[in-house]
Amino acid sequence: MSFLEQFFEDNFNLPPKPPGNNGQSDSSASVPHGGKSNSFKQVTDSELAAHLEINKYDQFQLTDAVRPALDLKIKPTEGYRHENYQDDESGTSIPVVMAAASKEKLFPLFMELIEKLGPVVDVVLESSHEGDSNGHRDFYRDNIDMAVLQSVLFDYEDLLLNDGCTGIAVLNPAKPQEVQFEEHKLLIIYGSPLEHFEFTLEKAGVSESQAMQFITEAEHVHSSSEKYLKRFEELRCALGLDGSQTEPSEGYLDDYYNDGENWSDGDMSGGLA
């Protein structure tokens, strides 16, 4: 077995992707045009190793969780942009802010953002460690004190930053608002008003750019390990989370706004996308 084959077997999940909106799988939609196969499989072992060792683009420091495609069609950069979710059936509209920040800012930003949700929140821990067999798993806990939650999360900063198969969402259904630190290490904020969250981002030097693109919008690869799977289970137990499971979802506030469809990311199970 070559280094490349061993690398993918040891470090990356390669599950089948669900159909996208256009009837094609998300994995095929991310393959470069012209009928070429996945770019990660077209390089030599040394080329791949060299690319994966790159952890900084300009001033943007990457976590260990994810790497962009070799062609760098989307170069990792810092900033945030506004989105809007519109459910056609119910007419519900939910404002969204998506943000990318350099590694040294990410965890402190997340901790500061969730404080704005209030003293008591719900938490959802997300896992795609066993995507090949069990799919994406969500573990829930209602009504946890913010101080208790943050105290636990500080002990698992490395897992939350560097595991490409771990994500967490913190929400206050009474507002309703949510802050998600998802497995691509993007910060996604749902609900209204968003101005106080935007102020926190701007204060940290993360500026608005409606033209920016995120690593999820091009081919990329996730990384995880048995060590992080073990740490995930430790965090789940530390938070007292149950084993409730759902289909992959992008935001949990949809359950409070509308009992209809979940928001589908199409890449929540890890692996190549």
Those residues with Cβ within 8 angstroms of residue 21's Cβ, 6 or more apart along the chain or in another chain: none
Range of 130's domain?
A: 1-273
Residue 35, both tokens: 């009928």
User: So what's the pLDDT on residue 244?
Assistant: 52
Q: What is the pLDDT of residue 47?
A: 84
Below-70 pLDDT ranges, the chain: 1-38, 87, 131-135, 243-273
Q: What is the pTM of this model?
A: 0.76
Residues facing 25 on adjacent strands: 19
Q: What's the total number of domains in the chain? A: 1
* Residue labelled with tokens 């119910």: 90
Q: Which amino acid is at 130?
A: E
Report d(CA 176, CA 137) in Å as an integer: 23
Both tokens of 144, joined, read 């946890």
Task: Report whether the peptide linkage leading into residue 193 is cis, meaning its omega lies within 30 degrees of zero.
Answer: yes
Q: d(Cα 273, Cα 265) in Å, to the nearest integer?
A: 11
Cα 213–chain centre separation: 15
